[in-house]
Structure 1
Amino acid sequence: MNPKHVVVTGGAGFIGSHACRALLDRGDAVTAIDNLSTGHLANLDDLASHPKFALRQADITAASTFTDLDTVTHILHLACPASPKANTRMPIDTILAGTVGTVNALDMAARTNARIVCVSSSEVYGDPLEHPQPETYRGNCDPIGPYSAYTESKRVLEAACAAHQRQGTRVGIVRPFNVFGPAMWPEDGRVVSSFCAAALRGETLSVAGGRQTRSFTYIADFITGLIAMLDNESFGPINLGDPTEITIGELAALVIEVAGTGETARTHSRDAEVSVRRPNITRAENLLGWHASTPLREGLRHTLEWMAPLVSMSAVPR
């Protein structure tokens, strides 16, 4: 196998850090790029001394971040504030990462003839009128809604990928569905991390609405599919998600059951709440031979075990 040098944008983030680790484990050289606006250096502590790993603390919206990376063979473009908490706090940064940052990463791929996989989102389907969602469904999105900075930046990301692919760049797109697992920090803001942190503290899990459904994908499964796409030459887009569907109310109850503590309280649904989300993964099965295999209960157990020491430390008076 020829040696690979993979650039991972957003490499200190939740998914990015897992991707860096998996790539190093199979022998690739990895350069992670992260401005640490939402990423955590602690996610990479165990990689800091690895001879094939380098971290570049820089912003992907600056073209100069990429100019001296000439030996790149593959790129995973993940950098973007991903949680609703983060991307509503920094909407302009989110838009810039998905637009300018994506174009910069694609330009590097074109210059080096690297294979690039850009990570989009299931949010491009909006509040879907087709269920489950195949990649051919064009979505039902509000371009000026409260979460539009994230959703529309991902739609622009896909448009930029398509434009580059038509010009010969080796591009692929994946659409993740609610990825979760260890390295989601307690204050991350995504529903699984919020529920897990509250349960571990013995607090009330605030369930907004509760009847809306989601499909949750364990991080190890997602990384397997992501790297399979990196090694493939398909454009996609390809859904990467567990088609098992669960209501948010049921998720809260399951987190409490696995954690052994906590209680729930129902609140009104958020504005612009998506009613359903479930992937059609036929394309992933046919092109990548991929499907998720980790049951939700098992994934939640691993997540709670990882998070428990952090929650205990944060409870210690200072």
Structure 2
Amino acid sequence: MTGGAGFVGSHICDRLVAQGHDVICLDNLFTSQKSNIEHLLGKKNFEFIRHDVVHPIWLEVDEIYNAACPAAPGHYQYNPIKTMKTSVMGAINVLGMAKRCRAKVLQFSTSEVYGDPEVHPQPESYKGSVNPIGPRACYDEGKRAAETLFFDYHRSNKVNIRIVRIFNTYGPRMHPYDGRVVSNFIRQALRNEDITIYGSGSQTRSFCYVDDLVEGIIRMMNGPDTFIGPVNLGNPGEFTIKQLAELVVEISGSRSRLVYRPPVADDPMQRQPVIDLARKHLSWEPTVPLREGLKRTIDYFRSIDMESFRAPTPNY
């Protein structure tokens, strides 16, 4: 599990360890933290290796989950060249391992491959509208290039691949300073600080609770070899950023007020998945409503000492 100490990766590790798998977690701890996997370190079927996927590693495995890459704009823009290398060279390295070991390998791709979409909602057949030279391109185009590599290794070398395109995910173990909109709003609300909205707040997102996402990813890995994706995994419920902010304030009982800042470059105005393929091939769809998921996430943020976390980059 690359990126296994991250927000989503650590939840995948939990599931695999609980199922009795021998799990090797790789992470360089750039935007993740060891506390996410601390409870697993004493398990006989769990091993942690501090490693950067930009560099090759030789392991004997039968399944690879490739989640390594900073996912928030401030973090992936902090060192854009490294972000691109993580996506591209990381994909080459895990695909090479999968080829050598004859292992299944699943790529954590992203809804960002659709860019600022001209088609709404977004099916997997939509090829996207991405600015290849914009400030977000290191992540968007890095993930698109990784998908290309996965399919070329599949076509040329018969590597057994899977690709999931993940839409906005939230839940416990989000880093308070990961720069994602949910964690930003919750952190600000719990401190009764102004909640910062970039742009008008009318831009939309679809928020998927982490437990739902993990279930979809596990089903994709365990699914038939005839369905390799890409497949959208996300919640088709669509909310504006302003609605999200208001809901966080309401649930948390915060005294925060909403403040507006200029929009950021290339920020997509709409983001909503079509999940027909996931329903058909994986019998999957999300079950946790946004209000319930936010309540669980806010409870988690209340349970941690936010002052003990540091922002991974100066951008947050």
**TM-score interval, normalised by the smaller of the two chains:** over 0.9
Q: Which residue of 2 aligns with 1:102?
A: 91
Aligned position for 1:50: 43
Change (3 A) 1:126 1:313: closer
CA drift of 1:314 comes to: 5.2
* Aligned counterparts of 1:268 and 1:312: Cα–Cα separation in 2: 27
Partner-residue secondary structure (3-state), 1:120: strand
Q: Does 1:114 align with 2:103?
A: yes
Residue 240 of structure 1 is matched in structure 2 by 233
State the Cα distance separating 1:20 from its structure 2 match: 0.3
Distance (Å, rounded) in 2 between the aligned partners of 1:160 and 1:248: 34
Question: For the residues of structure 2 that align with 1:285 and 1:156, how far apart are their CA atoms?
Answer: 26
Partner of 2:47, secondary structure, is strand
Residue equivalent to 1:294: 288
The residue identity in structure 1 corresponding to 2:213 is F
Out of 194, 208, 225, which is 1:217 matched to? Answer: 208
State how far apart, in whole Å, the 2-side matches of 1:313 and 1:57 are.
24
- Cα 1:153–1:50, aligned 2, differ >3 Å: closer, same or farther? same
Partner of 1:156: 145
- 2:277 maps to which residue? 283
Determine the structure 2 residue equivalent to 1:198.
Answer: 188
Q: Does residue 198 of structure 2 align to residue 208 of structure 1?
A: yes
Distance 2:176 2:300 in 1: 10
SS of the residue 1:75 aligns to: strand
Match of 1:253 in 2: 246
The superposition leaves residues 186-218 of structure 1 with CA deviations (integer Å, 9 ceiling, x where unpaired) of 111110000010001111101112000000000
**Aligned with 2:135: secondary structure?**
coil
Checking the alignment, whether the CA contact within 8 Å between 1:242 and 1:292 is kept in structure 2 is yes
Mapped pair 1:28 → 2:24: no
Percent identical across equivalent pairs? 41
Q: CA separation in 2, counterparts of 1:286 and 1:53? A: 33
State the aligned residue count: 304
Q: Which residue pairs with 2:314 in the alignment?
A: none
Distance in structure 2 (CA, Å) of the matches to 1:313 and 1:84 = 22
Is the CA contact (8 Å cut-off) linking 1:200 and 1:311 kept in structure 2?
no
Q: Is the 8 A contact 1:102 1:157 kept in 2?
A: yes
Runs of 4 or more above 6 Å deviation:
none
Distance across 1 between alignment mates of 2:81 and 2:43: 34
Q: Which residue of 1 aligns with 2:164?
A: 174
Q: What SS is found at the alignment partner of 1:76?
A: strand
2:52 to 55, 59, 62: 59
Distance change (3 Å), C-alpha of 1:313 and 1:268: closer
- The one-letter amino acid of 1:21's match is D
* Match in the other structure for 2:3: 10
> Which consecutive unaligned segments of at least 5 residues does structure 1 have?
1-7
TM-score, normalisation: structure 1: 0.94
Q: 1:268 Cα shift?
A: 2.1
Deviation at 1:311, TM superposition (A): 4.8
Separation of aligned partners in 2, 1:269 and 1:145? 14
Distance 1:85 1:268 in 2: 16
Aligned to 1:4: none
For 2:105, the aligned partner's letter is: I
Matched, 1:123 2:112: yes
2:32 corresponds in structure 1 to: 39
- Deviation per residue, 1:49-99 (Å, 9 max, x gap): 011000010111111x2x1x12x1111000001111210112111111100
One-letter amino acid matched to 2:120: H
- Counterpart selection for 1:84 from 61, 73, 78: 73
Does the Cα contact within 8 Å between 1:200 and 1:259 map onto a contact in 2?
yes
C-alpha distance in 1, partners of 2:194/2:304? 18
> Does the Cα contact within 8 Å between 2:99 and 2:159 map onto a contact in 1?
yes
